[in-house]
Structure 1
Amino acid sequence: MRYINIKIITLLACISFGMTSCESFMDINADPNNPTDPQLALLLPATQLSIVGNFNTINRGASNVIQHRAAGSLNRWDQTGTTFQSTWLGYYTQAIPDLEQMIDTGTAEEAWGYVGIAKLQKAFLYSTMVDVWGDLPYSEAAKVANPKFDEGEEIYNSLFALIDEAKADLNRSFAVVPSSDLFYQGSRDKWIKFANSLKFKLYIQTRKVNPSVSTQGINALLAENNLIDSNADDFTFLFGSSPAPETRHPWYTTAYSPSRDGYVSMVVHDRLREQDDPRLRYYIFRLNERAGLANSQVGEGYYGRYPGDGAASPADQQTRAIVGIYPCGGVYDNGMIPSLPNNDGLLNNIGATTGSTANSFRLVLFANGDGTGAGIQPLLTNVMMKFYRAEAALTLSTGEDAGALLTQAVTANMQAISALSPAFPISTSTINAFNSRLLAQYQAASAEERLALVMMQKWIAMYGNGIESYNDYRRTGLPALVELISPLDDFPERFFFSETELTSNETVIEIREQLQRDQQITPVFWRR
């Protein structure tokens, strides 16, 4: 990861405000006497920013479905044709055409580094889109006016081949301007690790469709031993701290604005409190440490909502809890938690401030430089890979030690959290103590209980990437969701298509109503 320079800030602004195209920016900065390299060097960050910038809407939706957040209609399982329209249009009018242009131009000019990266980003993007939408335009996308909808399983199968093509391209030759690559700064080695890790992810996702193929593919990748294996290899986007143009994490800009945005999930709070988890102080920040549910003043500041709560919001913008320092670059909660009985637990009051946590807000914001919005968007990380490998060991008998992988995943997650909170890191002794307790639970558990323990820890670690937990839940049924207070529909098996697509694409206009309803109730192909 790297901080964003002025040129990239401008590109991000193009995406942040109205999801408009950055073509004019690229035209202005292209050198007509040497068009190819500048074009590819500008297209690459544009595609990366479009992938991340348009990710937020589907990530918010999934985070509400999977109970990481408590906001919006999907907190009650309700969606419409406009819920994800901006992301759908952003991907099909920005990211995908630019990726295809990168592949075409790079192939013509034999700029194989750009070609390989574009193909890997295309594979990542389409796999994400299939995971949330199922069938969608692929083979004819960005090529014809009314592209047909391809089956999700067929798209997935083609992505395996696309990843192999990308690896071959990267190994032909590699010359990428480091500053144009926001993820890996032109590192071929890291892109190859990403390629292998993405393939591993697709095998895990489809393990119930064809277990033998997934097992064989995963074992081959483990034997190759070139996966994302440290936080330094993470496929993670780092946001900036500029409010104008806006480069801050989208969760920060909405939570730390006067109007706020939804509520923190009390499910997150409860599960972290139940297991004496120090991550609570990093995930949730209390604006008023006396606030309780329903805007009462008899709580400890953890004023959020439970899933499916459809009650109107009172004037509680100054009392509801908000997202903390992780993942959005907000504020670490260093205030007292009165109900903690002593300081023997891993979640304790050692070093905590007394009085209102608003004092902690001011202290951290001005003294330690936190609360800037310079958060992260984890997309495919070391933490995820350790959990994938643990799941594969438990369900496909790949031979790895799932218990060791579980504790490695938790360690990596806590280290990633500490990296965003250098003033208040999670100590090594705390991480070791948490893992010792966790490993004892794992060793005492049955095979079924072990998978449940792994998936619960992954759900906690995936705070900030709800799509990952949405996929996990549909694939494994774990961890169990809390019953909704007042659901408005069935559990959403997939997300609704863009209404604009359904009313303008001639291949689906006549069946659009049934097609949309099927999105709510028909599982994606890999959910067997």
Structure 2
Amino acid sequence: MKKINNKIKYLFSVVTVCILVLTTSCETTNLDVNVNPNALSPESADPSLVLNSIQAGMIGQSFGLNANVRGVMRHINMFGTYAANTPPSSLNGAWATTFSVVANRKLIEDLNNTQDLANHLGAAQVLEAFAYVNLVDFIGTAVYTEAVDAAFANPNLDAGKDIYDAMYTLLDKAIANLQVSGQVKFEDLFFNGDLNAWIKLANTIKIRMYVQSKLTGNGNAAASINSIVASGNYIKSNSDDFVAQFGTNNDNPDVRHPDFVATYEAAGAGGTYMSNEFINILKNDKTVEDPRLKHYMYRQSLTVPSGSKLPCAGNPAYPLCYVGDFYWGRQHGDDEGIPNDNNQRTTFGAYPAGGAFDSGVGNVSSNNSINLGGKGIFPVITASFTDFLLAEASLPAPVGLGVNGNTWTYIENGIKKSFAKVSEISGVAMVQADMDAYINEVKANFNNAATDSDKLAIIVKEFYVASFGNSIEAYNAYRRTGFPDLGGSVVPNTDFPRNFLIPDSELNSNDNPNLKQITRTTQVFWDTNPAGFVQ
């Protein structure tokens, strides 16, 4: 395979398949070699190809999970009930991809016995740990100790906490392998061969896990986070960010952001409805408009929706039927009739989907000529995310972990880094006065917060806004903290999914008595909050 010129093309020849087919396993395709690494023997396997499959699979898994929860978390509109939006097939792809990652990591481990592949193995272990953490966070369990082992025809599920503990150990092993010198270089699809960047990713995953499980009373969490922060070796600047970078090529392979393809390539834009709740937070939560609003959202129409174009009008169940200022979205759960408004509804903007920045043009022809052509990103873990996690962790227990550092400084840095990342991707600078006014208002609210819980609410709301494009973080934070307050549910007779169901592909394809389906109200191990805590 061509070494540098085809790295990005390779990534998206794999990832696009994984993303667009979210409920199936991800097959690996290569521009030059049409081979599935899972079928290779150690004698014939190309370690770079195997690791590339792991790297691409991890992005496919994360993007698929994001797609499953962004409507639930009101980053985009969710039609109908929670149950309808979280069917048993939701995580088929995420589950299958995780065990593909495990199989390929084991293959690299075998290859390392006769080749100098410790760095390959370290990167694979980081991504395996991340994939397993994602499964635990969504399902609460997974097959781990007996996974991908022919000796176990009916593998058992491991407890979520046990998997978390094993992933801390696996990340330590990964860091050790990444520090081994004199090894064969691997094709790095994310960090351009910077092994320390992989170590930063491993440490940041640990921070994320410690904060995620704060309610379980891990006595080592604060000290462990303090040690990582003191080392400085974690994702703390935008140049460290772990993101998938999309491009503009539209054929062989199509490497554009999937949300761009699904909306801007339609007959006019449209497709997905944006969430009125989220637009309302960006537009009306503070006395100043969020500087990211017109980077996140693109208004195709500069007319007010009415009549048949606004089917929720007059229905008291939808108090946010229309939020004003020409933002054509939908309120959470609104499954009223769908009008012919593809060319008028608000759609994805420049960040993160690589669409258009909203400069107030408001028509499809300009939309199609001024967009970024799909050159967006999928923000997996960014420096701003890390700052908000550290801000939460710096609060005293029980709402935080009491780690070192000034809480407000973490919040301010998180907002500033989010502003900078959004501007970098959209190519449009924000007005300094607007950014200053926004930050000053958040600071005033934070200083006036009466309790630690009130401070936590401010932190998580800012995290929620900054995490647009990766709703996994919002879903986890919401179950962990109960914030942000999204105004309650307008969806009757259905419970908020505290977890997703065990994939039906696994239950139906294996006659395994050790696999039993759970319910959507089953709580993952770190979610110790009461029933009905979130809606």
TM-score (norm 2): 0.85
Separation in 1, partners of 2:333, 2:412: 33
Q: Which amino acid aligns with 1:415?
A: A
User: Which residue of structure 2 aligns with residue 284 of structure 1?
Assistant: 297
Q: 2:104 aligns with which of 95, 98, 116?
A: 98
- State the 1:224 CA deviation: 2.4
1:11/1:60 CA distance change after superposition, 3 Å? closer
User: Which residue of structure 2 aligns with residue 346 of structure 1?
Assistant: none
Q: Which amino acid aligns with 2:51?
A: L
Q: Which amino acid aligns with 1:524?
A: V
User: Which residue of structure 1 aligns with residue 393 of structure 2?
Assistant: 392
User: Which residue of structure 1 aligns with residue 506 of structure 2?
Assistant: 501
- Could you tell which deviates more after superposition, 302-311 or 149-158? 302-311
Q: Deviation per CA, 1:339-365, whole angstroms, max 9, x where unpaired?
A: xxxxxxxxxxxxxx5xx3446424523
- Does residue 161 in structure 1 map to residue 154 in structure 2? no
1:326/1:157 CA distance change after superposition, 3 Å? same
Separation in 1, partners of 2:19, 2:134: 20
Matches within 5 A, 1:124-523: 124-144=130-150, 145-173=153-181, 175=183, 177=185, 180-244=187-251, 245-258=253-266, 260-274=270-284, 275=286, 276-292=289-305, 295-296=309-310, 300-335=325-360, 353=361, 356-358=362-364, 360-365=366-371, 370=372, 372-394=373-395, 395-422=400-427, 424-446=428-450, 447-508=452-513, 512=516, 515-517=517-519, 520-523=520-523
User: Which residue of structure 2 aligns with residue 343 of structure 1?
Assistant: none
Which SS does the other structure have where 1:311 is aligned?
Answer: coil
Q: Tell whether the 8 Å contact from 1:333 to 1:360 is kept in structure 2 after alignment.
A: no
- State the 1:432 CA deviation: 2.9
User: Which residue of structure 2 aligns with residue 116 of structure 1?
Assistant: 122
In terms of fraction of residues, the more helix-rich structure is 1
What percent identity do the matched residue pairs reach? Answer: 27
- State the 1:204 CA deviation: 0.7
Separation in 2, partners of 1:318, 1:279: 22
Q: Deviation per CA, 1:457-488, whole angstroms, max 9, x where unpaired?
A: 00000011111110001111111233232345
Q: Which amino acid aligns with 1:84?
A: L
Q: Which amino acid aligns with 2:439?
A: N
Q: How many residues align?
A: 494
Separation in 2, partners of 1:377, 1:283: 13
- Could you tell which deviates more after superposition, 402-411 or 308-317? 308-317
Q: Deviation per CA, 1:261-309, whole angstroms, max 9, x where unpaired?
A: 3310001111111122121101111111214376249954311111111
1:323/1:140 CA distance change after superposition, 3 Å? same
Q: Deviation per CA, 1:417-453, whole angstroms, max 9, x where unpaired?
A: 001111x221344323322222222112222221111
Separation in 1, partners of 2:68, 2:34: 36
Structure 1: segments with no counterpart, 5+ residues: 336-352
Q: Deviation per CA, 1:169-225, whole angstroms, max 9, x where unpaired?
A: 1112264546x2111111111111111111111111111102422112212222323
User: Which residue of structure 1 aligns with residue 531 of structure 2?
Assistant: none
User: Which residue of structure 1 aligns with residue 525 of structure 2?
Assistant: 525
- State the 1:127 CA deviation: 0.5
Give runs of ≥4 in structure 1 deviating > 6 Å: 23-26, 35-38
- State the 1:494 CA deviation: 0.6
Separation in 2, partners of 1:16, 1:198: 22
Q: Tell whether the 8 Å contact from 1:310 to 1:486 is kept in structure 2 after alignment.
A: no
- Could you tell which deviates more after superposition, 117-126 or 42-51? 42-51
1:325/1:17 CA distance change after superposition, 3 Å? closer
1:23/1:458 CA distance change after superposition, 3 Å? closer
1:303/1:455 CA distance change after superposition, 3 Å? same
Q: Tell whether the 8 Å contact from 2:277 to 2:331 is kept in structure 1 after alignment.
A: yes
1:159/1:308 CA distance change after superposition, 3 Å? same
- State the 1:12 CA deviation: 4.0
1:74/1:182 CA distance change after superposition, 3 Å? farther
TM-score (norm 1): 0.86
RMSD: 2.9
Q: 2:72 aligns with which of 65, 70, 83?
A: 65
Which SS does the other structure have where 1:516 is aligned?
Answer: coil
Q: Deviation per CA, 1:245-266, whole angstroms, max 9, x where unpaired?
A: 2221122222223264331000
Q: Which amino acid aligns with 2:56?
A: L
Which SS does the other structure have where 2:215 is aligned?
Answer: coil
Q: Tell whether the 8 Å contact from 1:291 to 1:319 is kept in structure 2 after alignment.
A: no
- State the 1:4 CA deviation: 4.8
- Could you tell which deviates more after superposition, 467-476 or 372-381? 372-381
User: Which residue of structure 2 aligns with residue 83 of structure 1?
Assistant: 90
Q: Which amino acid aligns with 2:246?
A: F
